[in-house]
Amino acid sequence: MSNSLFIDCSFGISGDMMLSSLIDLGADIDYVRNKIASLPGIDKFSLAVESKNEHGIMTKELKLNFLNRNTDAINQHEHHHRTNKDIIQMIEDSELQEREKKRSISIFNAIAHAEAKIHGLLVSEVHFHEVGAMDSIIDIVGTCVALESLNIGKIIANKVPTGHGYINIAHGLYPVPAPATMEILKGLPLSEFTAEGELTTPTGAGFLKALVDELSDSINGEIVNIGYGKGTKEFKHPNILRTMILKEKVDNSELVNTIECQIDDCTPEELGYLFEILTNNKKVLDVYFTNVMMKKNRLGTLVTVLAYPQNTEEIEKLLLTQSTTFGVRKNEYKRVVLDRSFENIEVYGETIKMKLAKLDDELLKAIPEYEDIKSVAMKTGVPVRTVYEDIVVKYKQIDFKGES
């Protein structure tokens, strides 16, 4: 089962802050280094984190340097101009796992679409400047690899601030947020918190746009671990990004509709046929008939059908066309169900399907399918009750994890 991640970007978000916070959270830095090194054409680099006290909070700060044969290090902020197409090809040709590739490409595409709109280019023609630098490629790909190291599935984030003022970028002096950042964040709710300077970078905005499944200011679930990533800029507030692994509360509820009608002018044969076509319909979750007393002291039948909301209209039409009713009614309910799965066991040389029901990964029930029991009884001549009792004995010998 994958973990959920909550990104607390109350003070903003950038690429280096995201990666360092995930390493502080427990991502394997050696795994991150090795996967990044598989990118074709990547410069030789050293990647580490240092513990830093930021306004009284112990954090991790990313330390990234690029090495070559002639010098000890190349300034990590040297910008390499690459097109979006070039970068995606690097990722596709790497040894990254499929989800690592998918997430990395989605971030670059989110930024490229914003840049293309601003500069009037095709997405494939966009030349990255800040984001195209080697350090930013490592921030983005490294973050996606770190997410995989932590087995992160669902990602949640709160509202993000942008800051205000002016910054110098490749095209000159621009207001904060930068045009690309503003374009990427379009449609996302922004925080009211502000400070002078760039709080959210295009890379940080790309993370939120491409990776986040849900935006929420509340943390729903048990906090398992917390990581802090420090940015390089100095503010009066802590320049940190906080990430948390959550154990989410399992919601076993779902919405269903009941569709009902009362019938007092059908023959038993007609009611039997109606019951048969309802039970054979795969979009019907359940169906039952109840004897009721109707007006004028007539005995009648209350027909109740359970179905998902998206299938309700089809069931209504079936009742209206296949019965004598003049109308149907429906109600929406929330029902709670156990997690269900199936596994097979062998008795009398025959296969019996067991329906397993779990709550929070705890096995509560294991029920054999009646039709399988009946089939075994008919083939062997063993009474149904005896077959069932033998299944119970067999069940107690199995932990349903592939061991017996």
pLDDT of the residue at 397: 67
Q: What is the mean pLDDT of residues 255-277?
A: 95
* Domain end position, chosen among 200, 232, 247: 247
Q: What is the pLDDT of residues 85-132, one digit of tens each?
A: 889 999 999 999 999 999 999 999 999 999 888 888 778 777 765 555
Range of the domain at 332: 253-336
Q: What percent of the chain has pLDDT over 70?
A: 92
Residue 82 and residue 224 in one domain? yes
Binning pLDDT at 50, 70 and 90, where does residue 363 land? confident
Residue 197 and residue 343 in one domain? no
* Domain end position, chosen among 285, 317, 336: 336
* 401 falls within a domain: no
Q: Burial, 99: exposed, middle or buried (Cβ in 10 Å; 0-12, 13-18, 19+)?
A: middle
Q: What is the mean pLDDT of the chain?
A: 89
Residue 150 and residue 240 in one domain? yes
Q: At residue 19, what are phi and psi to the nearest 5 degrees? A: -65, -45
Beta carbons of 227 and 21 less than 8 angstroms apart:
yes
* 400 falls within a domain: no
What CATH number is associated with residue 312? Answer: 3.30.70.1380
Residue 286 and residue 196 in one domain? no
* 402 falls within a domain: no
* 274 falls within a domain: yes
Residue 302 and residue 389 in one domain? no
DSSP state of 265: S
Rounded Cα distance between 208 and 107, Å, is 9
pLDDT of the residue at 73: 41
* Domain end position, chosen among 247, 282, 300: 247
Residue 68 reports pLDDT greater than 70: no
Residue 331 and residue 299 in one domain? yes
- Token pair in block for residue 271: 């009611």
Q: What is the mean pLDDT of residues 5-25?
A: 97
pLDDT of the residue at 398: 61
Residue 195 reports pLDDT greater than 70: yes
Q: How many CA atoms lie within 13 A of 273 on its CB side?
A: 11
Residue 37 and residue 111 in one domain? yes
Residue 126 and residue 159 in one domain? yes
Residue 73 and residue 51 in one domain? yes
DSSP 334-371: EEE--EEEEEEEEETTEEEEEEEEEETTEEEEEEE-HH
Count up the domains in the chain and report the number. Answer: 3
Question: Which of 135, 116, 138 has the alpha carbon at shortest distance from 125?
Answer: 116
What CATH number is associated with residue 349? Answer: 3.10.20.300
* 403 falls within a domain: no
Q: At residue 322, what are phi and psi to the nearest 5 degrees? A: -105, 5
Residue 71 reports pLDDT greater than 70: no
DSSP state of 333: E
Given its phi and psi angles, is residue 97 left (phi above 0), alpha (psi -120 to 50 degrees) or beta?
beta
Query: How many C-beta atoms surround the C-beta of residue 61 within 10 A?
Result: 21
* 212 falls within a domain: yes
* 295 falls within a domain: yes
- Token pair in block for residue 381: 């001549």
- Token pair in block for residue 382: 């063993």
* 404 falls within a domain: no
Residue 282 and residue 160 in one domain? no
Residue 313 reports pLDDT greater than 90: yes
Beta carbons of 404 and 354 less than 8 angstroms apart:
no
Residue 140 and residue 173 in one domain? yes
Q: What is the mean pLDDT of residues 346-363?
A: 86
Distances (CA, A) of 50 to 47, 61, 64, 106, 327: 10, 5, 11, 29, 71
User: Which spans in 26-97 are helix H?
Assistant: 29-37, 84-92
Residue 20 and residue 135 in one domain? yes
